[in-house]
Structure 1
Amino acid sequence: MTRTDYYNDPNAPAANSIGVAVSAFTVNERGELLMIRRTDNDLYALPGGNLELGETLSQALVREVQEETGVDVEVVELIGVYSNPRHVIAYDDGEVRQEFSICFRARPTGGDLRTSSESKEVHWVPRERIADLNVHPSIHLRILHGFEERQSAFFQ
């Protein structure tokens, strides 16, 4: 399923749903950030996805990172809650979802990089190379907050 992200766009369609999503800010021992290139919109992003019934946020994060990247992680702390109503995601099935994503700092514990049906590329990206990638502004904000190592979580 393809998606189109609208960010601060007055011509964006109105949201008709909201769901809980998680994303992982994961840095390895070399200071590189784990990123994927999404198959649905061709943008680079932090790995993550939707919370499923019967699981906790932490379980969803661990599952999504493993599914999309092959990397095993443990959740370390909350970076922020991102629920900007001016960011909507339109899917080709007619759903238009308001952003609601909880970003966590995670620590890699094992696994091997691999792609999935949701990730056409998986990389450990050096911090100085992130600006060279096509990253959506909402993901860029999470990355900025992750590298800032803020004293308290971000709430929007």
Structure 2
Amino acid sequence: MSQQILPAVAAAIFNNKGEVLLQRRKDVDQWCVISGHVEFGETVEQAILREIKEETDTDAQITRFIGVYSSPESQTYHYTGRTVQYITTYFEAHLNGCIATGFSNNETHELRFFKPDEIPGEMALINKNWLTDALDNNNTVFLR
């Protein structure tokens, strides 16, 4: 079985009610923040803006760098024939427009904003501090 370390990006996106955007991913049929891989030749900033556009069909802007997540406990995924540990750069971003009602595509089954105390239980593997870190208003940079 092969083992890899790959760069990834993720974003916490809030609306004006303080609700966080989650994506029900088609690949695992679980909720998650917008996230994805960094492609060759792009920066982490370019990668997260591309992922947001791909997964919501909406442009965005980065508003804050939250931190870097590399803990094997939350960043290791087991696939058929390989195991990947992602080094994830986590941002807060703001959508520049509205998501089309009922939007879905080959990666996104559903998009929905949730109140922080009503996050669904069926979350994809993610660092346990993802929400509290995103809600931190002290401009702390997290290394987890």
> What TM-score do you get using the length of structure 1 for normalisation?
0.81
User: Deviation digits for residues 104-156 of structure 1, max 9, x if unmatched?
Assistant: 010111142422212211112222321x3312462442122101234321102
- Structure 2 stretches of 5 or more lacking a match? none
1:98 counterpart = 2:85: yes
Select 1:42's aligned residue among 14, 29, 33: 29
2:69–2:127 Cα contact (<8 Å) kept = no
Q: 1:32 to 1:64 in 2, by over 3 A?
A: same
Aligned residue among 6, 17, 26 for 1:30: 17
C-alpha deviation, 1:71, in angstroms: 2.6
Moved over 3 A (4+): none
Mapped contact 1:72–1:111 kept (Cα < 8 A): no
3-state secondary structure, aligned to 1:144? helix
Secondary structure of residue in 2 paired with 1:71: coil
Q: Does 1:85 align with 2:85?
A: no
2:118 aligned with 1:129: yes
Count of matched residue positions in the alignment of Structure 1 and Structure 2: 141
Corresponding residue number in structure 1 for 2:54: 67
How far the C-alpha of 1:23 sits from its partner, in A, is: 0.4
Tell whether 2:112 aligns with 1:155.
no
In structure 2, C-alpha distance between the alignment counterparts of 1:154 and 1:25, rounded to whole Å: 14
Provide the aligned C-alpha RMSD in A: 1.9
Equivalent position SS for 2:22: strand
Q: Percent identity at matched positions?
A: 29
Contact preservation (8 Å) 1:80, 1:142: no
Q: Tell me by how many angstroms 1:28 deviates.
A: 1.1
* Offset at residue 32 of structure 1 (A): 1.5
Q: 1:75 to 1:15 in 2, by over 3 A?
A: farther
Structure 1 unaligned residues grouped into runs of 5+: 1-13
